[in-house]
Structure 1
Amino acid sequence: MAYRPRWRRIPRTGPPTRPRSTRIRLALCALAGVLLLAGGAAAYTWHRLNDNISSVELGSLLTPEASATSDLNILVVGSDSRAGKNATRAGGGDDVGRSDTTLLLHVYGGRKKAALVSIPRDTIVDRPACATGSGQKPPEHERVMFNSVYETGGAPCTVAAVESLSGGMRINHYVEVDFNGFAELMDALGGADITLAKPIDDKESGVHLQAGKHHLNGQQSLDLVRTRHGVGNGSDLGRIQLQHQFLTALIGKTAGQNLLTDPARLFAVAEAATKSLTTDSSLAHVDSLASLAYSMRGLGAGDVQMVTLPAQLEQGDQDRLVPDTARGKTLWAALKADRPVPEDALTGTASEPNGIGQVVTSG
C-alpha cells in the first residue's frame, strides 16, 4: 500500500530545536511549515488553503515515499503559467507556458541533509516518449532544449525527461511554483533584504542595482532571480548561481521570522504560498505538505548542498550546454545510493562558478 503522510500535531511550545538564527531550511520546507501553522487556526482556513492548491495527476511516473524518514526526491519547477484547477496546463496541452527554473531536491535518509540540483534550461537533452495529462502522446525527440520539454508536455513529460537524464532516478513528488505567485509570496513575507557585492545592470530584465544593501519587493525579487544578462557571462549558469545565493538569503529570512505573533500576516503568507503551488495529487493537501515539512525539520544551515548539473558548452554555440556524461553519472550514482555528491563530479565543467563570486548575501 502506498505510504501517505499523516497529520502530526505539534505541541504549542514544541520540542527543543536548534537556535532559530541557525535553522536554515529549504524553501519548500519553510513554506509548508507556514501552512502547517496556518492550517490549524480554524476549519474554514484549512479548507480555503486546501482549495488554493492545484494538482496534477502523475500516476506511475512517481514512486511513493518508503517512509517518513527515507531518502526523498522532489522535482521543483518554476513556471510562468498558472495551472489552475485540474492542472490543464501543468498536465500538458495548449498554453502550457514555459519553465526556466528546474530543481531536483534530494533529501537524504533521516532527512537532516539535502542536495539541490539545478538543471539549466539551455541544456540539450533527448526527450523520451511521454503522455501528457491532456491525453497527448509526444514521441521521443533527440537534442531538444530542456525547457522545451515542459512547453511540449507539462509536468508529466518533464518528470519523464528528468528520470531519463538522471539514468532512472525515481521521483517521489512534483512541486510547481508559478512566477506571479512567487512575487506575491515575497510581498507577503515583507520582501527581501539583500546585499549585492557587485552591481547588476540588465536592460532586458530591467534589473539595475548598485552594489550594497537593497530592500526588494515581490516583483523586484522575481526580476532578480530571473535575470541572466547582468551576471557572469550572461548564460543560464550565472543565473543559477545567483538563484542559489538568493535562495540561501531568502531561507535565512523565512526561518528567522516568528509569524505566529502576527496571525493576519501568517494567513497572508499561507494564502500566497498555496495559491502559487501546483503539486502532484498526493501532496495537494495542507496536511500532506505540513507532514513533509515536519519530516525535514532537522535541516540546518550547513546541511544543503547547492549543485548545478555537470555540463559543457556546446561546440560552436556558447548559449547551449550538453550534459557532462562522466561527471553526471558520478552525480546521479551518488544520489541514488544516498551518498554525498563527490567533489570530482562538480569540477572541470562549465557548471563551475563563472567568476560571478558571491553576489547576493542576506541584508
Structure 2
Amino acid sequence: MTGSHKARTGRRSDEPARGRGRKRSKTRIAAAITLSVLVLLVAGTGWIYLQLNGNITTFGADGVSQDRPGSGAGGSNVLVIGSDSRSGGNSKLGGGEGDVGRSDTAFLLHVYGDDKHAVAVSFPRDTLVDIPPCKLPSGSWTQPQHNAMFNSAFTVGQTAKGNPACTQNTVEKLTGLRVDHTVVVDFEGFSKMTSAVGGVPVCVPKDVYQGDLNPHRGSRGKVIFGKGPQTVSGQKALDYVRLRHGIGDGSDIGRIKRQQAFVSSLIKKIKSQGVNPSALLPLANAATESMTVDPGLGSANKLISFAMSMKDIDLHNTKFITLPWRYQGARVAIVHSEADALWAALRADRTIDGTDASGKSKHGTKVDDGKSGAAASPSPGASVSGAAVYNGTTVTGLAARAADDLKTSGFTVTGTATGSTQDHATTLITYGPGQEAQAHTVARLFPGADIQKATAPGISVTLGQSYADHPAPSASASSSDVPSDVADKARSADDNPCSNLSYG
C-alpha cells in the first residue's frame, strides 16, 4: 500500500510541474505570436511606405527660376495645380482633346506659422499675368510674356505632363511670395481620392443637364445633377468640379466658388474620419498614385510629415478666397491695389481678418496676437534704406509724383532723374546684393513691376507707362491688412455647402 501510495504521490507531485511547463510553453507561444505580429506590422508599414514612394512622381527643380522671392515673416506656401492631362488613365475620364497637359484649376495655399490657420487663394485660369522665362524640354528658356493667360504657363513646352515649374515661377513673380512646394493632381488621382473617402457631400443650386457639362452636345439631355445636397465620388465628383455652364453666368469665377466648396467638404470629410488607417491608407495611396510634386515632397515620409503639420488647423480657420479680379473684355484682370495688399498680408503672416498668425517672432518669442491693435510688421520705410526713382516714360513729372507716393508711404527717396530711355511699358525695380526683400517691399506700390537683380548696390525704380496709367495706391499697399472687400467674400471650410455657390 505504501508503494502504491508513493506511486500515486509521485504522479500527483509531477502534475504541477507539467502545469508550469504548459504555462511557460503558452507564454513562449504568446510571445512568439506577439513578435510575429510586430514583425508583420513593421513589414507591412515598410511595404506601405515602399508602395507610396513608388507612386510619387517628381518634376525637375532645374526649371524653377533662380531669381526667387525671399522668405516671408513665417508660414509656408504650397501651390496646388489641377491638371487635365489626357495621358495614362486620364483619357477615359473626359475633358478636352489632345495630348498637351493643361491646368484649369490652381490655388496657392498659405499655411501660417502658428500651424492653426490656412488660406487658399484661387487663380482664375483666364487671368492676365506676366509669365517670366520658363525652361523648355530642350533645355532652353523662353522669353518673358506680357499679359498672357495664367493657365498658359502650364502649357509652356507643350508636354503631356505640363510645366508646373513655369506655373510656380509665374505665381512667385505675381505674388512676391516664395512657393515652398508645388503639387499637381490629375483627373485620375482626383477621382480616386473622392472614392477613397467614400464620397464628398456637395450642393447643386439648380438641376444640371448633360448639355451643361458638354455644351457641344447639341441637346439638353438628361439631368445629371438634381438640385440640392448630394454625395459624389469618382467620375461624378470630377463632373461636379469641372461643371461651368448652366449655373450662374457660366463663368470660371462661378466654377471656382463651387470648387472651393468642394475642397471644403473634402477636408471636412477627411477630418471627420479621424486618424483611421482603414480610411487614410486608401486615400494616401490614391493621392500619391496620380500626383506630381517638387523634389522637396518627393517621398512618403515628406508628404506625410507635411500633411501632419496641418492636423491642428480647424475648419473655421481654413479659408478660401479668389484673387481680386475684374473683367477686361473676355479675360480677367487683377485688381492690383487689393491683390498687393493680400500678398503683403501673407508675407507678414497675417490672416485675412488682420490677426498675426506667425506663431513666433524671428527671435523665438511669442508675438502679439493681433488683439491689441499693434502692427506686427514694421513700417515699409524701416526695412528699406532708400530708393532712387527714374522716369522711363515721356510723361512729364512722373518721377516726382512717384517720389511723393513713396514718401507718403514711409519710404526714403535718395533722388529722382530721367531714365536712360523713355520707352518702358512696365516699371522696373532693380536691387543690389542682399536687397531682394527690400525690392519686394518697394514693389508693393508698383503693381505688375518687374524685379531684377543688379550688381551695383541700392534700390532703383525706373517708371514705366503702366505707372503713368495706374498710379500707386498710396499707403494702402504697404498695409498688412487684407481689404474688407476681399476678406468678406472668404469661404470657411465649415460653411454651409449650399451657400455662395455661383457668380452671376
Using the size of structure 1 for normalisation, the TM-score is: 0.75
TM-superposed CA distance for 1:58, in Å, is 1.9
TM-superposed CA distance for 1:45, in Å, is 2.0
Which AA in structure 1 matches 2:309?
S
Which AA in structure 2 matches 1:44?
W
CA deviations 1:243-265 (Å, max 9, x no partner) are: 11111111111111257363xx6
- Secondary structure, in 3 states, of the residue corresponding to 1:341? coil
Q: Does the CA contact (< 8 Å) of 1:65 and 1:172 recur in 2?
A: no
TM-superposed CA distance for 1:135, in Å, is 1.6
Rg (Cα) greater in structure: 2
Distance 1:64 1:292, change over 3 A: farther
Distance 1:65 1:191, change over 3 A: farther
For the pair 1:53 / 2:56, whether they are aligned, the reply is yes
Distance 1:83 1:274, change over 3 A: farther
Q: Measure, in 2, the Cα distance between the counterparts of 1:152 and 1:109.
A: 33
For the pair 1:325 / 2:336, whether they are aligned, the reply is yes
- Secondary structure, in 3 states, of the residue corresponding to 2:135? coil
Q: Measure, in 1, the Cα distance between the counterparts of 2:125 and 2:484.
A: 18
Q: Measure, in 2, the Cα distance between the counterparts of 1:130 and 1:98.
A: 16
For the pair 1:337 / 2:348, whether they are aligned, the reply is yes
TM-superposed CA distance for 1:280, in Å, is 0.3
Aligned residue in 2 for 1:116: 120
TM-superposed CA distance for 1:338, in Å, is 0.8
TM-superposed CA distance for 1:40, in Å, is 8.5
With 338-347 and 241-250 compared, the bigger mean Cα shift is at 338-347
For the pair 1:358 / 2:499, whether they are aligned, the reply is yes
For the pair 1:151 / 2:155, whether they are aligned, the reply is yes
Aligned residue in 2 for 1:222: 238
Aligned residue in 2 for 1:14: none
Query: Quick one: which of 208, 230, 241 aligns to 2:257?
Result: 241
Relative contact order: is structure 1 or structure 2 higher (C-alpha 8 Å, sep ≥ 6)?
1
Q: Does the CA contact (< 8 Å) of 1:194 and 1:214 recur in 2?
A: yes
Using the size of structure 2 for normalisation, the TM-score is: 0.55
Distance 1:125 1:223, change over 3 A: same
Which AA in structure 2 matches 1:54?
T
Alignment of 1:1-363 (within 5 A): 41-59=44-62, 61=65, 70-81=74-85, 95-132=99-136, 135-153=139-157, 154-166=163-175, 168-201=176-209, 203-205=211-213, 208-258=224-274, 260=276, 262=278, 266-314=280-328, 317=329, 319-341=330-352, 345=483, 347=485, 358=499
With 338-347 and 325-334 compared, the bigger mean Cα shift is at 338-347
Q: Measure, in 2, the Cα distance between the counterparts of 1:182 and 1:199.
A: 24
% identity of equivalent residues: 38
Count matched residues. Answer: 304
For structure 2, list consecutive stretches of 5 or more residues without a partner in the other structure.
1-40, 89-97, 158-162, 215-222, 354-480, 492-496
Q: Does the CA contact (< 8 Å) of 2:229 and 2:498 recur in 1?
A: no
Which AA in structure 2 matches 1:268?
P
Which AA in structure 1 matches 2:59?
V
Aligned residue in 2 for 1:21: none
TM-superposed CA distance for 1:138, in Å, is 1.6
Aligned residue in 2 for 1:91: none
- Secondary structure, in 3 states, of the residue corresponding to 2:78? strand
- Secondary structure, in 3 states, of the residue corresponding to 2:485? coil
Q: Does the CA contact (< 8 Å) of 2:69 and 2:178 recur in 1?
A: no
Which AA in structure 1 matches 2:337?
A
Distance 1:124 1:293, change over 3 A: same
TM-superposed CA distance for 1:197, in Å, is 4.5
Which AA in structure 2 matches 1:324?
V
Q: Measure, in 2, the Cα distance between the counterparts of 1:305 and 1:223.
A: 24
Distance 1:215 1:352, change over 3 A: closer
TM-superposed CA distance for 1:332, in Å, is 0.6
Q: Measure, in 1, the Cα distance between the counterparts of 2:75 and 2:110.
A: 7
Q: Does the CA contact (< 8 Å) of 1:121 and 1:145 recur in 2?
A: yes
Distance 1:199 1:344, change over 3 A: farther
Q: Does the CA contact (< 8 Å) of 2:134 and 2:169 recur in 1?
A: yes
Q: Does the CA contact (< 8 Å) of 2:321 and 2:486 recur in 1?
A: no
The root-mean-square deviation of aligned C-alpha atoms, in Å, is: 3.2
